[in-house]
Amino acid sequence: MSMERNDQSTTSSQPPGDMAGDLDVERDSDVPISTQIFWQLAYQIDSGRLLPGARLAPVRELGAALRVNPNTIRAVYRRLADAGYVTSRHGAGTHVADRPPERRGAEALAGIIAEMLRRAAQAGFTPDEVAAAAFAAATERKRPGELVHVLFAECTNADAGYDAARLNDAFPGLIEVEGTLLDDLPDRLERFHYDLVATTTFHADEAQALVHGRVPVVAMLVGPGYVELVHEIAGLKAGSRVGLVCASERGTENMAETLALSGTTGVELLTASLEADEDLALIDRTADVILLSREAIANGLADRFSRAERIRRWSYDFDPSGLELLRRAVEPIAAARRTETEAVPAGA
């Protein structure tokens, strides 16, 4: 009898915290418990519920919550690491990789489908009904819908998802915004329908090149607080050291590029990712100013640095003029969509 079967009980459990969402196990399933957990965690990473840099629950904590042997959880985490989903370092825990695997293969897809079927069965739907709904949804994603579809591109998944949510809140009932990495723009535009792409002015040229004229690109201005921060760094005296801390190497590269475009010269930039302990220690010892990305702050890195007065939050709010620019781009599309709908005879 396997270790998973020795851990069986009659109930399902949730792991602690929101990070793992509603992760649970089916004790009477023919699928091994370790595979169930792997599939569900892979699904949460694939779907963006677990963002790059997010820390997974400690092995013993998750095992206790799910009433599963810790060795089973260790095996799941090793399997996720082998597949490129997570990285683990002694003393730092297990975190979602900066950039999870782009082509995840049949195994992860099977996990997503198994999770979808399981949840549908709990709600009383048959596999045939799920398959029909999935086909209809996929078809719908390739053609215009009632709302204007906007794809917001940024250099990290966390920023893209966060900004997409803010734009959805700013234009309720008018647009449907999804976040994506800049590098993934061509693939997303190839697979699904979007009416336009939005990004910040910092990425406008790159987005235009990647979109290649397929849809309009709206470059949105950011608020004055962010601009003032950039100008502060540009105004530092020559020889100053600035620490850049982000969840991914791409993120720190973007921060450095933005500073360069703003006219920052003679300043030494020190970069570090969330788990680069030696780089973080060097920044703490030598940096005059430390810039922390949204992910870095969310992961508690502000507490790792002495002299808190050096720390600056590298994030932005959209300037009202940027939101107005997006509105002006969206409203003609929405008006045309309404006209098309009204022109279709009832019952057609």
* Rounded alpha-carbon distances, angstroms, from residue 16 to 40, 94, 95, 185: 15, 15, 16, 35
**What was the pLDDT predicted at 130?**
80
How far apart CA 150 and CA 55 sit, in angstroms, is 29
pTM tops 0.85, yes or no: no
Q: Sort 69 into a burial class: Cβ within 10 Å, 0-12 / 13-18 / 19+.
A: middle
Q: Sort 44 into a burial class: Cβ within 10 Å, 0-12 / 13-18 / 19+.
A: buried
CB 95 within 8 A of CB 274: yes
CB neighbours (10 Å) of residue 176? 18
CB 77 within 8 A of CB 59: yes
- The DSSP line for 251-267 is HHHHHHHHHHHTT--S-
pLDDT digits (tens, 9 = 90+) for 48-60: 777 888 888 888 8
**What was the pLDDT predicted at 145?**
62
Which residues have CB under 8 Å from 166's CB, separation 6+? 318
Task: Provide long-range contacts, Cβ within 8 A and 24+ apart, for 166-172.
Answer: 166/318, 167/198, 167/318, 167/326, 170/318, 170/323, 171/326, 171/327, 171/330
Sign of the alpha-carbon torsion through 48, 53, 59, 60? negative
How far apart CA 44 and CA 36 sit, in angstroms, is 12
**What was the pLDDT predicted at 135?**
66
- The DSSP line for 123-165 is TT--HHHHHHHHHHHHHHHTS--SSEEEEEEESSHHHHHHHHH
**What was the pLDDT predicted at 8?**
37
Residues with pLDDT less than 70, the chain:
1-22, 28-31, 47, 90-91, 99-111, 135-145, 248, 250, 261, 340-348
- Residue 23 CA, chain-centre distance (Å), reads 19
**What was the pLDDT predicted at 217?**
94
Of 40, 294, 286, whose CA–CA distance to 162 is shortest?
294
CB 148 within 8 A of CB 198: no
How far apart CA 295 and CA 272 sit, in angstroms, is 13
CB 305 within 8 A of CB 284: yes
Distance from the first to the final alpha carbon of the chain: 59
